[in-house]
Structure 1
Amino acid sequence: MRRLPTLTLFLGLALALGTAAQAQQPRPVTPRGPLEAAELNHIRVFKRASPSVVHITTLAYQRDFFSLNVSEVPRGTGSGFIWDEAGHIVTNFHVIQGANAAKVTLADQSSYEAELVGAFEDRDLAVLRIKAPRDKLAPIPLGASRDLQVGQQVYAIGNPFGLDQTLTTGIVSALNREIESMNRRTIRGAVQTDAAINPGNSGGPLLDSAGRLIGVNTSIYSPSGASAGIGFAIPVDEVNRVVPRLIKDGRFIRPALGVTAGSAQLAQALRLPKGVALVGVSEGGPADRAGLKPFRRDRSGRILAGDVITAVDGQAVADLDDMLTLLENRQVGEKVTLTVWNGGKSRQIAATLGSSD
């Protein structure tokens, strides 16, 4: 009878050890059903598009203070995507601005030295080229931005904070936004999205639910510098207009009229209509040949009336930026019809576009 407490203690200890041993075993996995349709599409889009997305590292030359040896050091990172099987890579101009060299890392982590093919600062676009085997080059599928609708599902793939091959999702939050390029030119038609875009995403693709390129992620609106749910992308229709010309010519040659525009203060002081008030006309240029005259002063200092371009081919222009945007859609040598205001009267003038060079 006296041994019963000892036996009870032993049995209790054995049970406790058995329970502890059971607790140390891996728990069984709870089976799940099929993935949701939305999840499956996220996976499909990423698998299809991610091989086209690249990581760009820009380099700068650094001279050692003591040995005077020059070396290349990382300067910054960004994103880009494969445009074609010739090795052309599209990214933002501001990603490579000021760099001495750049390195492109593909999705399989192979890296290649890149050369600059061309850049167009006004639209914050640049084209690089790498010499990689064709079987490593997967051009991104191209979509359209003209028929986008607010509420559409979108995906961003890029390298935020250097974390490559990062997928974020969201919707088209708004269309036809205006953002500023690096040289303060207005980029019209930008796509606004709430897909998380952070430093390092610049130059990467914005995709629709079919995995097609619909924009190039270029900037965010954020007081902190991190994603605040308001990001912007250059529309793909603009990209598809600019990039082929950068590949062909190495630069974007804008058709020009050969004029110099007056300031907003001048237009306000003279109570001029909205448009491009001319204060200079290049001798022998398209505008000069068409008979356009600038505002100028006579010998006594009085301002002589000049011309104000108010429309190009029937499309109203409110300022110089408006006119330059319209001219970018034309070709050198193409004829345009200008609506010109002077002294309260308007007239139509035909002009043949020259080159901005």
Structure 2
Amino acid sequence: MRSFRLLGATLFVAVLVMLTVVLAIPYARQIFFAASVPRVIQPRGDLSSLENSTVELFEQASPSVVQVVALGEGRSRLPGSDDSPGMESGTGFLWDLAGNIVTNAHVVSGARKVAVRTASGSMLRAEVTGTAPNYDLAVVRVLSMTSLPSPLPVGSSADLKVGQSVYAIGNPFGLDQSLTTGVISALRRRMPTAGGREVSNVIQTDAAINPGNSGGPLLDSAGRLIGVTTAIISPSGVNAGIGFAIPVDVVNRVVPELIRAGRVPTPGIGIIAASEALATGIGVEGVVIVRTVPGSPADRVGLKGIDAGDGTVGDVIVAVEGKPVQRLSDLTEVLESVKVPGRIQLTVEHNGSSRSVSVDVVDIGGG
């Protein structure tokens, strides 16, 4: 019996000791292992070549990127526009050493006052030089000439490849000088603009583009401008991996016109075209002419629209300059490559027969 009592007492003491040790461990750790002084910094070694190239790209390009703030009412907006009551905030970038800055037309549309905040934090007054709603592009010029950084180098959008790396710099949600990276997700997208037309060959990217990025540069891995970010597709209004940029080849054609004349000619032949849905519904491939504008080049050469009496389809444009036309954007893409005034050759079908028609290209206004 005595031995059992001794064993029980021994077990009790052992359990008590173990419980004491368990309870004391946190206090012992705090006393002996707590980092109560700054820890030693461990060297990380060199950045990877990819990281170095991204850092270098941002450091070279970011000084040329600015925030554009426009005050005013009644401006038109696009999906993904950066709106708050009475104020539009977007991004822009320096185009030349004269202080001309490129941004989106929807950022400054209807603005009474425009201000630019540079990468260094300086606030500069600016004025709108010109807008091109048909391309969602605008130029503003700073009024006080300070020391300006170098303009961004310009690349080409003609040789872009799906999958190549891209970099966007902008001011999402007012957070200036933000860099996002991604790839070109698709090419030759079509995007409607506030001017009532479509921009063709638009770049689609998964680089994060959010409200405030509008008008900012999209760069390739060489730091060259390849597009101007303009819109996102997102039910929530924030980045969902689908953003768009106006191709630089369009920008490089439109911006000099805005600087020189304040507007860009809108090349056209004077037709009202049916929607793609209507053309598909009636089994027609091409641009179905609904009607021609009286006195326009199309009217003068005798192009006919849909018969208002019985709804019979009139002329359908199936080719331009020998290239097949499947939709209106195919036609406008060729029209925009023609210097106004100019002339183009159309292939038109009517009641199963085709003919070739030479039509003048004129400035139809609107942007």
TM-score (norm 1): 0.82
Matched, 1:355 2:336: no
Counterpart AA for 2:166: V
* Structure 2 contact 68–89 (Cα < 8 Å) conserved: yes
State the match for 1:96 in structure 2.
Answer: 108
Distance 1:271 1:45, change over 3 A: closer
Partners in 1 of 2:267 and 2:195 — Cα distance? 19
Distance 1:273 1:158, change over 3 A: closer
1:331 alignment partner, one of 336, 339, 353 = 339
Distance 1:21 1:303, change over 3 A: closer
State the match for 2:72 in structure 1.
Answer: 60
Matched, 1:48 2:60: yes
Deviates more, 1:211-220 or 1:222-231: 222-231
2:164 alignment partner, one of 152, 171, 174 = 152
Counterpart AA for 1:29: I
Instruction: Report the 3-state secondary structure (helix = DSSP H, G, I; strand = E; otherwise coil) of the residue aligned with 1:135.
Output: coil
Partners in 1 of 2:232 and 2:140 — Cα distance? 23
Shift of residue 34 of structure 1? 1.2
* Structure 1 contact 281–294 (Cα < 8 Å) conserved: no
State the match for 2:189 in structure 1.
Answer: 177
Written as runs of structure 1 = structure 2, the 5 A alignment for 1:58-207 is 58-60=70-72, 75-133=87-145, 135-183=147-195, 185-207=197-219
State the match for 1:287 in structure 2.
Answer: 298
Counterpart AA for 1:287: A
Counterpart AA for 1:327: L
Shift of residue 138 of structure 1? 2.4
Partners in 2 of 1:269 and 1:60 — Cα distance? 43
Which blocks of at least 5 consecutive residues in structure 1 are unaligned?
1-15, 62-72
Counterpart AA for 2:161: Q
Matched, 1:243 2:243: no
State the match for 1:218 in structure 2.
Answer: 230
Distance 1:291 1:91, change over 3 A: same
* Structure 2 contact 72–86 (Cα < 8 Å) conserved: yes
Counterpart AA for 1:225: G
User: Cα deviation per residue 1:10-51 (whole Å; 9 max; x = unaligned)?
Assistant: xxxxxx9xx779943322211221111111111100111011
Distance 1:197 1:338, change over 3 A: same
Distance 1:20 1:268, change over 3 A: closer
Deviates more, 1:232-241 or 1:263-272: 263-272
Counterpart AA for 1:77: S
State the match for 1:344 in structure 2.
Answer: 352
1:317 alignment partner, one of 310, 325, 331 = 325
Partners in 2 of 1:43 and 1:180 — Cα distance? 34
* Structure 2 contact 274–287 (Cα < 8 Å) conserved: no
Identity of aligned residues (%): 49
Counterpart AA for 1:256: G
1:36 alignment partner, one of 48, 51, 59 = 48
Shift of residue 272 of structure 1? 5.0
Counterpart AA for 1:338: L
Deviates more, 1:158-167 or 1:223-232: 223-232
Instruction: Report the 3-state secondary structure (helix = DSSP H, G, I; strand = E; otherwise coil) of the residue aligned with 1:123.
Output: coil
Distance 1:258 1:187, change over 3 A: closer
Distance 1:46 1:339, change over 3 A: same
Which blocks of at least 5 consecutive residues in structure 2 are unaligned?
1-27, 74-84
Partners in 1 of 2:204 and 2:107 — Cα distance? 20
Counterpart AA for 1:95: V
User: Cα deviation per residue 1:120-175 (whole Å; 9 max; x = unaligned)?
Assistant: 21221111111343632421111111111222221111101101111111222222
TM-score (norm 2): 0.80
Partners in 2 of 1:229 and 1:266 — Cα distance? 31
Partners in 2 of 1:94 and 1:206 — Cα distance? 18
Deviates more, 1:136-145 or 1:161-170: 136-145
Shift of residue 324 of structure 1? 2.6
Distance 1:294 1:185, change over 3 A: closer
* Structure 1 contact 281–292 (Cα < 8 Å) conserved: no
Shift of residue 58 of structure 1? 1.3
Distance 1:250 1:345, change over 3 A: same
Partners in 1 of 2:299 and 2:33 — Cα distance? 94
* Structure 1 contact 60–101 (Cα < 8 Å) conserved: yes
Partners in 1 of 2:149 and 2:120 — Cα distance? 11
* Structure 2 contact 292–298 (Cα < 8 Å) conserved: no
Shift of residue 102 of structure 1? 1.1
